[in-house]
Amino acid sequence: MALSCRKRADPRLGKYRVVYNINMASEPVCVEDFEPYLKASVPDTVWQYFRSGADGEQTLRDNPLAFQRYRLRPRCLRDVSQRDTSTSILGHRLSFPVGVSPTACHASVHRDGEVATAKGVSNAGSAMILSMWSNRSLEDVAASVHPDTPLLLQINLIRNEGRLKAVIRRAEAAGFKALVVTVDQPVVGNKLHLKGGKRDLDPTYPQLLLPGEGTFTLEKALALVKETESLTWKDILRLRGITSLPLVLKGILTAEDAREAVKHGAAGILVSNHGGRQLDGVPATIDVLAEIVDAVRGSNVEVYLDSGVRKGTDVLKALALGARAVFVGRPAIWGLAYDGEKGVEKVLGILKEEFSRAMALCGCSSLSDIKPDLIARMPYNNSDVEL
Ligand SMILES: Cc1cc2nc3c(=O)[nH]c(=O)nc-3n(C[C@H](O)[C@H](O)[C@H](O)COP(=O)(O)O)c2cc1C
């Protein structure tokens, strides 16, 4: 990417700023090409907030690399002229098996925040998990998408029952299809690069406001997360008593917890290491996917995966190992920084095109053709790719 300096619209501020280091003449051709646009368009603290992982960032680095340790076994001479990339999650259709994971504070990247993200997702025929820590309200997000776009709401199981019930009732009324409960965050991961503070992040969290409450400070938000330290599986049962929305548990990394999820009535499991932002040193999600798929076999629980998905072949590998769909976190943010709603749509469009091409090259014309025998080897903890 050539060095250049030019005036570029700042999507956060709605005005121009000088941008260095990006040759705007070259169109992004793969998902990772979008990342520099985020770095160039936000203050360093915001860039670090979105980029960073926990501690030494071993898991953050391993997430995308791990996919490269799996090789594909393509089948030839199959008619792949008509390919169907569509699937469903919890009975709701997606045009291809990729959705957007919950990430907080989109207004720190684009002035329309999660509304822009949701429009891009909707135009791409994808699904979105809205973060409880979003800067735009779930009602505004719901009003901005096509009626058939699956929206799910991520929640942290805060102890304050009034606040929790209020957000759940709002999600039900706005037509959200499921609650995605984050279970890997009893405490916030140790992000060394954020020790300088989060002062440039947009601190509005409309999901957490009770009627009549004007603002919600970052300190108040962190105090709420602190309340989650004492949560247990009983709280999943408590939640099932509050809502009939399906529950997806996000952040499960072991067969043991997957079996608990089945026992406690989960409708789905999102295998996730939070994009390397919680416990550093846990495996890449693709390395634990098979054990989790195995653990829930025979139940109706759907298994999804996020963390490090960057290419169409990553999607194909995850599906071959048993995921029903995958989700991306940072890539949506990169697209948002690139060109708001259109940028998000473009990132997802590239993933869809790459996935469809990978299906063709592997001899698959529908998702039911994607089976474990497409994977050449499963080297758990193999160290042939440098960390
Ligand atoms: C900046 C940022 C904010 C995030 N905020 C949340 C959140 O509010 N709730 C949550 O459950 N996960 C959150 N995550 C984790 C993502 O949902 C997702 O698991 C992760 O980004 C996937 O990895 P990827 O970015 O490599 O695709 C966040 C991740 C990032 C990078």
Pocket test for ligand 1, best of 39, 103, 187 (most atoms within 8 A of CB): 103
Is residue 209 predicted with pLDDT exceeding 90? no
Residue 56 Cα to ligand 1 midpoint, Å, equals 18
Catalytic-residue membership of 274: yes
Minimum mean pLDDT among 15-24, 81-90, 351-360: which range?
Answer: 15-24
Nearest CA owner, ligand 1 atom 15: 274
Q: What is the pLDDT of residue 332?
A: 99
d(CA 271, CA 255): 11
Residue 296: CATH number of its domain? 3.20.20.70
Q: What is the pLDDT of residue 11?
A: 55
Q: What is the pLDDT of residue 379?
A: 56
Nearest CA owner, ligand 1 atom 4: 103
Is residue 371 predicted with pLDDT exceeding 50? yes
Q: What is the pLDDT of residue 98?
A: 99
Nearest CA owner, ligand 1 atom 21: 329
Q: Residue 252: which residues within 8 A CB-CB, separation 6 or more?
A: 183, 184, 258, 261, 269, 270, 271, 272, 292
Q: Taking residues 246-269, what's their average pLDDT?
A: 98
Is 59 annotated to bind a ligand? Reply is no
Q: Taking residues 248-273, what's their average pLDDT?
A: 98
Is residue 24 predicted with pLDDT exceeding 60? no
Is 86 annotated to bind a ligand? Reply is no
Strands 92-94 and 87-89: antiparallel
Q: Taking residues 297-303, what's their average pLDDT?
A: 98
Q: Are 136 and 114 in contact, with CB atoms under 8 Å apart?
A: yes
Is 184 annotated to bind a ligand? Reply is no
Is 111 annotated to bind a ligand? Reply is no
Count of structural domains within the chain: 1
pLDDT tens for 325-355 read 999 999 999 999 999 999 999 999 999 999 9
Minimum mean pLDDT among 25-29, 165-169, 300-304, 330-334: which range?
Answer: 25-29
Q: Taking residues 276-302, what's their average pLDDT?
A: 98
- Indicate whether 377 belongs to any domain: no
- CA distances to 307, 349, 366 from 81, in Å: 31, 19, 11
- Indicate whether 78 belongs to any domain: no
- Indicate whether 312 belongs to any domain: yes
- Indicate whether 376 belongs to any domain: no
Is residue 72 predicted with pLDDT exceeding 70? yes
- Indicate whether 140 belongs to any domain: yes
Residue 274 Cα to ligand 1 midpoint, Å, equals 5
pTM of the model: 0.93
Residue 101 Cα to ligand 1 midpoint, Å, equals 6
- Indicate whether 387 belongs to any domain: no
Is residue 203 predicted with pLDDT exceeding 50? yes
Q: What is the pLDDT of residue 226?
A: 81
Q: What is the pLDDT of residue 18?
A: 46
Q: What is the 3-state secondary structure (H, E, C) of 47-85?
A: HHHHHCCCCCCHHHHHHHHHHHCCCECCCCCCCCCCCEC
Q: Taking residues 361-379, what's their average pLDDT?
A: 91
Name residues contacting ligand 1 (CB within 6 A).
49-50, 63, 101-104, 131, 133, 154, 182, 250, 272, 274-275, 277, 306-309, 328-330
Is residue 197 predicted with pLDDT exceeding 80? no
Q: Taking residues 68-83, what's their average pLDDT?
A: 97
- Indicate whether 215 belongs to any domain: yes
Q: What is the pLDDT of residue 190?
A: 92
Q: 2 falls in which pLDDT band (50, 70, 90)? A: very low
State the amino acid at position 171 in one-letter form. A
Is residue 15 predicted with pLDDT exceeding 50? no
Q: What is the pLDDT of residue 374?
A: 97
Q: What is the pLDDT of residue 12?
A: 54
Residue 327 DSSP SS3: strand
Q: Which atom of ligand 1 is nearest to the CA of 50?
A: 1
Q: Which atom of ligand 1 is nearest to the CA of 180?
A: 11
Q: Which domain holds residue 36?
A: 5-59+88-358
pLDDT, mean over the chain:
91
- Indicate whether 28 belongs to any domain: yes
